[in-house]
Structure 1
Amino acid sequence: MELILSGIGQALHLLFQGDPEVWAVTWLTLKVSGIATIISVLMGVPMGILLALSRFPGKSLLVSLVNTGMGLPPVVVGLFVTILLWRSGPLGIFGLLYTPAAMILAQAVIASPIITALTFAAIEQLDPNLRYQLLSLGATRLQTVWRLVLEARLSILAAVIAGFGGVISEVGASMMVGGNVKGQTRVLTTATVMEVSKGNFDVAIALSIILLTLAYGVTLILTLVQQGRQRG
Structure 2
Amino acid sequence: MTDFVTTSVRRLVAVWNTAPVAALVAERGLPAITAEYLRGTFAWSHAEQATRALTEHFASARFADEVEYGVLLVPDPALLDTRASLPLEVRPTSSPDVFDERLPAGVALPAGGPWQLVVSVIGSYGPSLGSYNDVLASDGFVVDGQDTRTWMTRQVWGARLLQCGATPPDCEHNERWTFTLFPGESLVAGMAESGTVLKGKVRFRLGKPDRGIGSARVAPAVLV
Q: Structure 1 length normalisation: TM-score?
A: 0.23
Q: Which has the higher contact order (CA 8 A, sep 6+)?
A: 1
Bigger-Rg structure (1/2): 1
More strand by share: 2
